[in-house]
Amino acid sequence: MIQRSLGRTGFCISPIGFGSFKIGRNQKIKYPQRYDLPDEVTVERLLNAVLDMGITYLDTAPAYGLSEERIGRAVSHRRKEFVLSTKVGETFAGGKSIYDYSTDAIRASVHRSLRRLRTDVLDLVFIHSDGNDLMILSQTDAVETLLDLKRQGLVKAVGLSGKTVEGARRSLSWADVIMVEYHLSDRSHEEVIAEAAAQGRGVVVKKGLASGHLDAGAAVRFVLANRQVSSLIIGGFNPDHIRQNVAIAESALVQSSG
């Protein structure tokens, strides 16, 4: 698969990234249909198949239930083959999300993710916003703590997985990468995506299929037609569906480069 640069991080990643929410959590979801969590054998086969498809970017988070541990068990032996991102600020326990952006919580989260993912360094760590982007950025120590962990070498790149245009724009002063929602039904981040790319920031798109509410073919083509997008994260646990999305992406990229 054609690779796209992740801003100025030095990473090149596949334009389709794998989002690991569904392999770890099935409570308090926004998807139109409920689902059972796959077993360990199914997860191992899926993650290895994803890498075999040429997907070189995996995204996870502590809030995704069992996701981090499962990635660590299944593909840590192939660690050099993919760029890995996780998040800090949100955990999920007892059926609800818990948010903590304090220095101690973020440091503990990074060290916990390193253990779970069975890696010595995290390629990319996002602040996992609860929606109060500006408050998190201006009234907590989250940004400085992440930057300090980057200086220590535990994290290679940092960013914000936010929910507002204002938060994404504010984060451009320090972030290496921004993660934003962007799809056919919500183009509100289009201008800040362009601003980020102009400043050498990577742009990762989440919920490009509107949590399963949009047609995959049209949605993938729309997002990847924007060359300022580094990668579109798509989740799921059906290898055939993921393979179809990869084929759509490859076709779209060939057409756009022609």
DSSP characters for the chain?
---EE-TTSS-EE-SEEEE-GGGT--SS--SSS--PPP-HHHHHHHHHHHHHTT--EEE--GGGTTHHHHHHHHHGGGGGG-EEEEEESEEEETTEEEE--SHHHHHHHHHHHHHHHT-S-EEEEEEE--S-HHHHHHHSSHHHHHHHHHHHTSEEEEEEE-S-HHHHHHHTTT-SEEEEE-BTTB-TTHHHHHHHHHTT-EEEEE-TTTTTTS-HHHHHHHHHTSTT--EEEE--S-HHHHHHHHHHHHHHHHHHH-
| pLDDT cut 90: percent of the chain above it | 87
Residue 34 binned pLDDT confidence (cut-offs 50, 70, 90): confident
Q: What is the pLDDT of residue 258?
A: 55
* CA proximity to 3, closest of 16, 14, 17: 14
The separation between CA 26 and the C-alpha centre of its own chain, rounded to angstroms, equals 18
Other C-beta atoms lying within 10 Å of the C-beta of residue 152: 10
Sign of the C-alpha dihedral computed for residues 239, 245, 2 and 158 taken in this order: negative
As a whole number, mean pLDDT of residues 124-137 equals: 98
The pLDDT of 180-204, averaged and rounded, is: 97
For residue range 213-235, list pLDDT tens digits in order.
888 899 999 999 999 999 999 99
- Our answer to whether residue 99 is catalytic in this structure is no
Cα R_g (the chain), whole angstroms: 17
User: pTM (2 decimals)?
Assistant: 0.96
> Which pair of tokens denotes residue 188?
């509100």
Residue whose token pair is 């022609």: 258
- pLDDT tens digits, one per residue of 50-84: 999 999 999 999 999 999 999 999 999 999 999 99
Q: Give the model's pLDDT for residue 2.
A: 86
Work out the pLDDT band at 211, boundaries 50, 70, 90.
Answer: confident
Given a cut of 60, whether residue 191 has pLDDT beyond it is yes
With a cut of 80, say whether residue 254 has pLDDT above it. no
Q: What is the mean pLDDT of residues 140-165?
A: 98
pLDDT band at 257 (very low <50, low <70, confident <90, very high): low
Please provide the average confidence, as pLDDT, over all residues in the chain.
Answer: 95
- Asked if the model's pLDDT at residue 238 lies above 60, the reply is yes
Q: Does residue 101 contact residue 144 with C-beta atoms inside 8 Å?
A: no
Both tokens of residue 246?
């990869």
Query: Which pLDDT value is given to residue 47?
Result: 98
- Options 31, 35, 57, 64, the catalytic residue: 64
Domains and CATH numbers, the chain: 4-239 (3.20.20.100)
User: Is residue 13's pLDDT more than 60?
Assistant: yes
User: Confidence class of residue 94 from pLDDT cuts 50, 70 and 90?
Assistant: confident
